[in-house]
Amino acid sequence: MTTPQTTATSSAAVLVLEDGRVFRGRSYGATGTALGEAVFATGMTGYQETITDPSYARQLVVQTAPHIGNTGVNSEDAESRRIWVAGYIVRDAARRPSNWRSERSLDSELVEQGIVGIQGVDTRAITRHLRENKTMRAGIFSGDAAAAPEKELLAAVRASAPMEGARLAEEVSIDEAYVVEPSDHGWEGEPKFTIAAIDLGIKAMTPVRFAERGVRVHVLPATATLDDVKAVNPDGFFMSNGPGDPATADAQVKLLRSVLDEKLPYFGICFGNQILGRALGFGTYKLKYGHRGINQPVMDRRTGKVEITSQNHGFAVDAPMDGATVAPEERFGRVEVSHVSLNDDVVEGLACLDIPAFSVQYHPEAAAGPHDAAYLFDRFIELMAGTRDGQTANLSKEPVDAKHPAEASQNTNDNNTEDEN
């Protein structure tokens, strides 16, 4: 990588996609070369939370919001210890930040952390291209690197590692365990519960949401064993979001199966949802362009309630949608798809009916994003309380027969027509 420069002295830059499409602009942040999977994020706010989300490791993020950097960055909103995006693609970078919480510019932060970006490109065209063709490998080249022939740049992109088969959770996880105490986040009195949380790329706000509710959180590395989990004497077990292909998470799947055999209550989000799916015996697959943003509609199939959710995933669980079914790993009993995406019918949640375990594909911690799904933290607390009291583990309060809102509306109209006739 060449010497970093700020946008004030920006140089030529080029974005090269795996299929040969090229977009030219100007450097943003550090100059040099960045390779990764090009994806688009649809959030209108929360760019600092986006770039510090470990789930974006080895990805070049296209922001669909046109104006980026206008509120700067600060020391409070980062969701992890560093920026994790491999590269950053924006249309109109702010010339200077203007916000009372701003401590420095986004541009200078990108330079400081060596993140190569590009500005002044048509992000709408890039987004439509990725949506119509699929996410793909790409490269950002700026400074001296941008002067190379396009043929050479394309060859570098095609030689880079794909996301399929990528094992990244261990790369972004912590090296040593730490504890998040309820008393540090406004809780008065003794902790109600203790959980072991596996950091597969955990966002900082997730253990905080637990702590605010009186739950002590022991955050453990991605390489933690069952003995490590038992050592903290937890009331529940949690697996976080994270990057990479869930098909590579054999160690975490093995750990979760051991935890489920112990009948320890389990809650997983994002990568943790995919790992639960695999632990139950289901497969996973790569989405065409994934779900990334803070405006993703999801329906709770048991109640018909729709939530607007924050999401960041490129893989999904392949599980049957037609009600409760016995898991392929039969010892875990029945399971049902509890939540579904209203955009493309992707599985967005799993609920086990005979063991205390459930998961969702989205981010209830809402950093950034809506708070529609915050109740899931309370649901896990209720599950731990019920398990402690010897109550049933059944998470299905109603049969899974809720219809897509469009179908429900059509049925209502049909019934009204029949009544009129």
Cα dihedral 387, 389, 394, 395, rounded to 10, equals -70
Alpha carbon 279 to its chain's center: 19
**Given 129, 218, 313, 363, the catalytic residue:** 363
Residue 227, token pair as written in the block = 């003995």
Does 291 qualify as catalytic in the annotation? no
CB 38 within 8 A of CB 292: no
Q: 3-state secondary structure string, the chain?
A: CCCCCCHHHCCEEEEEECCCCEEEEEEEEECCEEEEEEEEECCCCCHHHHHCCHHHECEEEEECCCEECCCCECCCCCCCCCCCECEEECCEECCCCCCCCCCECHHHHHHHCCCEEEECCCHHHHHHHHHHHCCEEEEEEEHHHHHCCHHHHHHHHHCCCCCCCCCCHHHHCCCCCEEECHHHHCCCCCCCEEEEEECCCCCCHHHHHHHCCCEEEEEECCCCCHHHHHHCCCCEEEECCCCCCHHHCHHHHHHHHHHHHCCCCEEEECHHHHHHHHHCCCEEEEEEEEEEEEEEEEEECCCCCEEEEEEEEEEEEECCCCCCEECCCHHHCEEEEEEEECCCCCEEEEEECCCCEEEECCECCCCCCCCCCCHHHHHHHHHHHHHHCCCCCCCCCCCCCCCCHHHHHHHHHHHHHHHHC
Catalytic position from the list 37, 336, 348, 365? 365
Backbone angles phi, psi at 204, to 5 degrees: -60, -30
From the candidates 129, 270, 336, 352, give the one annotated as an active-site residue. 270
**Catalytic annotation present for 363:** yes
Known catalytic membership, residue 365? yes
Read off the amino acid at residue 127: T
Judging by beta carbons within 10 Å of its beta carbon (0-12, 13-18, 19+), is residue 55 exposed, middle or buried? Answer: buried
Q: Could you give the CA distance from residue 230 to residue 184 in angstroms, rounded to a whole number?
A: 24
Annotated catalytic residues are 270, 363, 365
